[in-house]
């Protein structure tokens, strides 16, 4: 199915993301299913800690890259399968992992740095208002991380579509988000709530079912991941249409291609 890539309103971004998921459920949910399996993982133990580290640093970036590749190719009307999406992601897995780890490192340094300064100056040890200062610093560090998280929220599609990584991906995402931080925050927040809230409620009802409950939990987690990832890609192209007329350039390229093919058909010459 071909989608009309253009500037979208707030609601249209969410609606089109859902439409893409409904049109391609096997592809997108299939790609996301590995992340959904974490719903069945145990929550305690040393082995679980090691698996969680591998999950965050390797599995999550791989699945998100494959999902972004699948959605991007679908949105651009290119042929794609679950296998080809993972092959695409695997071909650039090292810079993708490095970019996500850099993001985590920045977040840790911000939070750790702020609280580190508080301890260095003895804020908590000697101040009667230590609790209030702690709460304030917690809010400040959280606000900074959220702000940067939104500014850098498009690094996934940027890595897949544009092949920009690390600081270049962060800079590019900031460029696309400039002037639309609150809109981006709202779209990502609502996109997360649309699927996760009702599915979280449903999980309460089947949590006690031994086998079926686990299967359903894995499935809904995969659906939530697929929808959220799709919304990010759709919004990425929306920002490109607004910032650099991506839709007009794409239309011009299509017209030029059709003109070349038409001329080749008339003259009998092979098209370029």
pLDDT in tens, 229-254: 999 999 999 999 999 988 878 877 76
Whether the Cβ atoms of residue 13 and residue 234 lie closer than 8 Å to each other: yes
Name which of 22-36, 110-124, 238-252 the model is least confident about.
110-124
Read off the tokens for 198: 């009702």
Q: What is the pTM of this model?
A: 0.84
Q: Give pLDDT tens digits for 51-98.
A: 667 777 888 899 999 999 999 999 999 999 999 999 999 999 999 999
Q: Give pLDDT tens digits for 160-200.
A: 999 999 999 999 999 999 999 999 999 999 998 888 787 77
The DSSP-derived string for 23-72 is HSHHHHHHHHHHHHGGGGS-S-SHHHHHHHHHIIIIIHHHHHHHHHHHHH
Distance CA 262, CA 256 (A): 10
C-beta neighbour count of 155 within 10 angstroms: 28
- Helical H runs in the chain? 10-23, 25-36, 46-54, 60-75, 82-91, 93-120, 123-126, 130-151, 155-157, 166-177, 181-206, 212-244, 246-267
Average pLDDT (4-22) is 95
Q: What percent of the chain has pLDDT over 90?
A: 50
Average pLDDT (1-20) is 93
């Amino acid at each position: 199915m071909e989608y009309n890539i253009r500037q979208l309103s707030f609601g249209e971004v969410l609606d089109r993301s859902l439409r893409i998921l409904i049109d391609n459920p096997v592809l997108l949910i299939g790609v996301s299913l590995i992340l959904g399996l974490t719903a069945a993982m145990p929550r305690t133990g040393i082995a679980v800690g090691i698996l969680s580290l591998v999950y965050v640093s390797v599995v999550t970036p791989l699945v998100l890259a494959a999902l972004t590749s699948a959605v991007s190719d679908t949105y651009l009307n290119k042929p794609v399968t679950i296998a080809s999406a993972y092959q695409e992601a695997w071909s650039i897995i090292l810079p993708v992992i490095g970019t996500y780890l850099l993001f985590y490192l920045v977040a840790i340094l911000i939070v750790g740095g702020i609280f580190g300064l508080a301890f260095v100056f003895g804020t908590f040890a000697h101040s009667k208002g230590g609790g209030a200062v702690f709460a304030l610093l917690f809010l400040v560090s959280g606000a900074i991380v959220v702000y940067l998280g939104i500014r850098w929220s498009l690094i996934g599609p940027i890595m897949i579509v544009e092949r920009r990584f690390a600081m270049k991906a962060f800079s590019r995402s900031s460029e696309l988000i400039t002037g639309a931080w609150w809109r981006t925050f709202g779209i990502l927040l609502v996109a997360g709530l649309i699927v996760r809230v009702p599915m979280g409620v449903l999980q309460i009802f089947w949590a006690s079912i031994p086998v079926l409950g686990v299967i359903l939990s894995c499935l809904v987690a995969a659906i939530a991941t697929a929808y959220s990832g799709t919304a990010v890609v759709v919004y990425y192209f929306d920002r490109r249409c607004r910032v650099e007329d991506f839709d007009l350039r794409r239309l011009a390229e299509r017209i030029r291609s059709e003109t070349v093919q038409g001329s080749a058909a008339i003259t009998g010459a092979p098209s370029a």
